[in-house]
Chains A and B, each alone.
Chain A
Amino acid sequence: MKKILLVEPDSLLAKSYSQYLINNGFSVKVSHHVQKAVDEIDTELPDVVILELQIASHNGYEFLYELRSYMEWQDIPVIIHTSVPIHVSSMNDQIMKQLGVVSYLYKPSTSLSKLLYAVDDSLTVSKK
Chain B
Amino acid sequence: MDDNKQGVNDYLLRTVVEQIKLPLIHIARQAEIAKDSSAGVDPESLSALSEMAIKLIDSYFLSLPDPNQVKLALEPVSLSSVLQTAAYNLEGMAKLYNCEIQLRLSGKFSPVMSHRTRLEAAFTMLGFAFIESQNQPENGKKSQVYLTGYKTAQGLAGGVFSPQLEMTNESLKRGLEGLGKQHQALPELSQTTSAGVFIADALLDNLAAKLRVAHYRKLSGLATTLLPSRQLQLI
Q: Is the CB of B183 within 8 A of A88?
A: yes
Docked Cα-Cα span, A54 to B192, in Å, equals 7
Q: How far is the CB of B174 from chain A (nearest CB, A)?
A: 15
B36 CB within 8 Å of chain A? yes
Q: Is the CB of B187 within 8 A of A57?
A: yes
Interface residues of B in 87-130 (CB under 8 A from A): 96-98
B37 CB within 8 Å of chain A? yes
Q: How far is the CB of A60 from chain B (nearest CB, A)?
A: 9
Q: Is the CB of A56 within 8 A of B97?
A: no
Q: How far is the CB of B38 from chain A (nearest CB, A)?
A: 11
Query: How many residues of A are counted as interface, with CB atoms below 8 angstroms from the partner's CB atoms?
Result: 27
Stretch at the interface among A66-74, A94-102, A108-116: A108-116
Interface residues of A in 53-93 (CB under 8 A from B): 54-59, 83-84, 88
Docked Cα-Cα span, A50 to B96, in Å, equals 23
Q: Is the CB of A33 within 8 A of B135?
A: yes
Contact of B25 among A20, A55, A107 (CB under 8 A): A107
B29 CB within 8 Å of chain A? yes
Docked Cα-Cα span, A107 to B28, in Å, equals 11
Docked Cα-Cα span, A38 to B24, in Å, equals 30
A42 CB within 8 Å of chain B? no
Contact of A112 among B29, B96, B98, B133 (CB under 8 A): B29
Q: How many A-B residue pairs have CB under 8 A?
A: 71
Q: Is the CB of A16 within 8 A of B188?
A: no
Query: How many residues of B are counted as interface, with CB atoms below 8 angstroms from the partner's CB atoms?
Result: 30
B132 CB within 8 Å of chain A? yes
Q: Is the CB of B135 within 8 A of A32?
A: yes
Residue of A nearest to B194 (CB): A56
Q: Is the CB of A56 within 8 A of B189?
A: yes
Interface flags, B18-60, vs A, CB<8A=1, else 0: 1001101110111011001100000001000000000000000
A124 CB within 8 Å of chain B? no
Q: How far is the CB of B162 from chain A (nearest CB, A)?
A: 12
Q: Is the CB of B97 within 8 A of A12?
A: yes
B191 CB within 8 Å of chain A? yes
Give the chain B neighbours of A111 by CB distance below 8 A. Answer: 28-29, 32
Residue of B nearest to A58 (CB): B187
Q: How far is the CB of B171 from chain A (nearest CB, A)?
A: 11
Docked Cα-Cα span, A120 to B135, in Å, equals 29
Report 29 cross-chain contacts, Cβ distance below 8 Å, ordered by A residue.
A9-B191, A10-B22, A10-B132, A10-B192, A12-B26, A12-B96, A13-B25, A13-B29, A16-B26, A16-B29, A17-B29, A19-B33, A20-B29, A20-B36, A23-B36, A32-B136, A54-B191, A56-B133, A56-B187, A56-B188, A57-B188, A59-B187, A83-B18, A83-B183, A84-B183, A108-B21, A111-B28, A112-B33, A112-B36
